[in-house]
Amino acid sequence: MISSPPKPAKPKFATRRRLIDATARLFAEHGYNGLTMRSVAHEADANLAAANYHFGSKDALVLEMLSERIQPINKRRIALLEEAKQRNGKLAPSAHEIFHSLIFPIGEEIARSSKSRWSLAQLVARTFTEPVCFIERMHQKFFSQIAKIYYQELSLAFPNAPTNEIHWHLHLAVSSMLGALAQHRRLRDFTEGVCSEEEVGEMINRLIRFVTNGFIMGINSSSAE
Amino acid sequence: MISSPPKPAKPKFATRRRLIDATARLFAEHGYNGLTMRSVAHEADANLAAANYHFGSKDALVLEMLSERIQPINKRRIALLEEAKQRNGKLAPSAHEIFHSLIFPIGEEIARSSKSRWSLAQLVARTFTEPVCFIERMHQKFFSQIAKIYYQELSLAFPNAPTNEIHWHLHLAVSSMLGALAQHRRLRDFTEGVCSEEEVGEMINRLIRFVTNGFIMGINSSSAE
DNA sequence: CGTTCATTGAAACGCTTGTTTGAAAAAATA
DNA sequence: TATTTTTTCAAACAAGCGTTTCAATGAACG
């Protein structure tokens, strides 16, 4: 034997990390109920008991994964929003700048995660559509604060618009964003091959413009009455 | 004993019907994987074996339910579209009329199903986000034809717009519609009670205007270049 | 080297899942 | 009423689930 030959598939990353990454992929593809501890263990090249050893339970594993994926996006959102505010001096950011700060960070993360590119888009969208109740709780924890911030920012940008109209249109804009993220993988089929889903930036930019237009036109026609 | 007293909870409808309705409610609330044959049987006041007897399998039961719920909506869509075309004579229907015919029938069905009002909205949206592959197949069967028709209609309404732009914006509009349907039950929480989800018509009308505005503005700015 | 601690591994634990069975009941048909 | 067909029912089936157990293994340290 020559000096302990390297094991054929020696894991480069810690088991914990591989488990989280495997969980992210499988959750995005199959949802919470479709994700099994056995499939996670297999995908991560780990033992079945490893996930319970490192995280305690399936719920805790998924929560840890979601927290790790979502928190950076939210931080980036706030950063971009602050950037826009400082760039404009005392002027409130425009609707386009506001929705850019909301949606663009998702595109950045999608582009960063080179492996199975659109997995993250599905993952983000799935956190909103999963029927499992503990995910709803986590979801509220992560997003209710963000929602409040964006409502306030839009109120400053449209000082003449009625309160409930801003709420309604922000709700529609966020829903559209999530729907588009969830449906994006169907773009090619839906358009019979005319449009392809390869370019992350193009899709994100189109989405930003779409919800910005829907928001502005809706708000303007409501405050014109 | 006095002339056979009526059984306390004597089923008024056939078991088959009760099973389908129970399936619809539970599928909307818990998704495909969260729906169990036992929960269906319990909700429908039927025996566990009844569903397999009447439908053969869980998959067949869910497919039957989806077909029954979705087909009427699609027929109504085509009817409304034809109505708009005849009303306009030789002129192509406007974007608003087109998206009205696409979205309004959902509102009609939601209003019709008085019990658990928003269940149908969730159900429609869930057929698009469920990760189970056989649902995707059914989905394609039901919607690819409709998608083609709407693409053609929008091409007539915007003859100067590039092909791929119409595809892109129709995709965004449909995605927004689905996202809004899926997220609607969160409206109250999301807006901290400012907006409530009681009025079906208001939500549907807002949604139609939102996607119409997003579509028109996006198409116009793309063909202006 | 010997000891301690963290991690892995294979097997098993209850439990729930979709589905099947065969007899009982009900309904339909003659 | 007698016979056939359809429908219900309780019980069981194998398979898959999350989780636990405990011995084997690895790494870290004195």
| Shortest CA to C1' contact from B11: nucleotide | D8
Closest to B51 (Cα-Cα) out of B30, B31, B36: B36
pLDDT given for residue B90 in this prediction = 80
Q: Distance from residue A22 (CA) to nucleotide D16 (C1'), in Å? A: 20
Q: What is the per-residue pLDDT across A124-136, written as a single tens digit (0 to 9) for each?
A: 988 888 888 888 7
Q: What is the per-residue pLDDT across B166-225, written as a single tens digit (0 to 9) for each?
A: 999 999 999 999 999 999 988 988 898 898 877 889 999 999 999 999 999 999 998 765
Whether B120 and B28 have beta carbons less than 8 Å apart is answered as yes
Q: What is the per-residue pLDDT across B52-69, written as a single tens digit (0 to 9) for each?
A: 999 999 999 999 999 999
Q: Distance from residue A19 (CA) to nucleotide C6 (C1'), in Å? A: 17
Q: Say which range, A48-52, A102-106, B7-11, B212-216, has the weakest mean pLDDT.
A: B7-11
| A159-180 mean pLDDT | 97
Counting residues of chain A whose pLDDT is more than 70, the rounded percentage is 92
Contacts of A195 in chain B (CB under 8 A): 164, 167-168, 171
Q: Distance from residue B19 (CA) to nucleotide C24 (C1'), in Å? A: 22
State in Å, rounded, how far the first CA of chain A is from the last one: 85
Whether residue A67 is predicted with pLDDT greater than 90 in this model: the reply is yes
DSSP characters over B174-206: HHHHHHHHHHGGGHHHHTTTSS-S--HHHHHHH
Whether residue B19 is predicted with pLDDT greater than 80 in this model: the reply is yes
Whether residue A92 is predicted with pLDDT greater than 70 in this model: the reply is yes
Q: How far apart are CA B69 and CA A15, in angstroms?
A: 46
pLDDT given for residue B140 in this prediction = 80
| A137-148 mean pLDDT | 87
Whether residue A81 is predicted with pLDDT greater than 80 in this model: the reply is yes
DSSP characters over A132-158: -HHHHHHHHHHHHHHHHHHHHHHHHH-
Show Cβ contacts of residue B165 under 8 Å, excluding neighbours closer than 6 positions. B218, B219, B222, B223
Residue with the two structure tokens 């090619």? A188
pLDDT given for residue B115 in this prediction = 65
pLDDT given for residue A115 in this prediction = 65
Q: How far apart are CA B214 and CA B168, in angstroms?
A: 12
pLDDT given for residue A10 in this prediction = 42
**Which nucleotides on strand C sit less than 7 A from a protein beta carbon?**
7-12, 16-22
Which domains does chain B possess? Answer: 67-224 (1.10.357.10)
Report phi then psi at A113, rounded to 5.
-80, 85
pLDDT given for residue B135 in this prediction = 81
Determine how many CB atoms are found less than 10 A away from the CB of residue B157.
Answer: 20
Residues 42-61 of A with CB under 7 A from strand D: 48-49, 52, 56-59
Q: Do A31 and B31 touch (CB under 8 A)?
A: yes
> Which tokens is B156 given?
């007539």
Task: Give the ranges where chain A is alpha helix by DSSP (H).
Answer: 15-34, 37-43, 48-55, 58-87, 95-112, 119-129, 133-157, 163-183, 187-190, 200-223
Q: What is the per-residue pLDDT across B86-138, written as a single tens digit (0 to 9) for each?
A: 998 888 999 999 999 999 999 999 998 866 668 899 899 888 888 888 887 78
pLDDT given for residue A119 in this prediction = 87
Q: How far apart are CA A19 and CA A88, in angstroms?
A: 43
Residue A33: C-alpha distances to residues A122, B125, B132 (Å): 15, 18, 11
- Counting every residue written for chain A, the total comes to 225
Mean pLDDT of chain A: 90
CB of A176 under 7 A from strand D?
A: no
Q: Do B31 and A29 touch (CB under 8 A)?
A: no
Q: Do B194 and A129 touch (CB under 8 A)?
A: no
Mean pLDDT of chain B: 90
- Alpha-carbon dihedral sign for residues B85, B209, B187, A73: positive
pLDDT class of A224 with cuts at 50, 70, 90: low
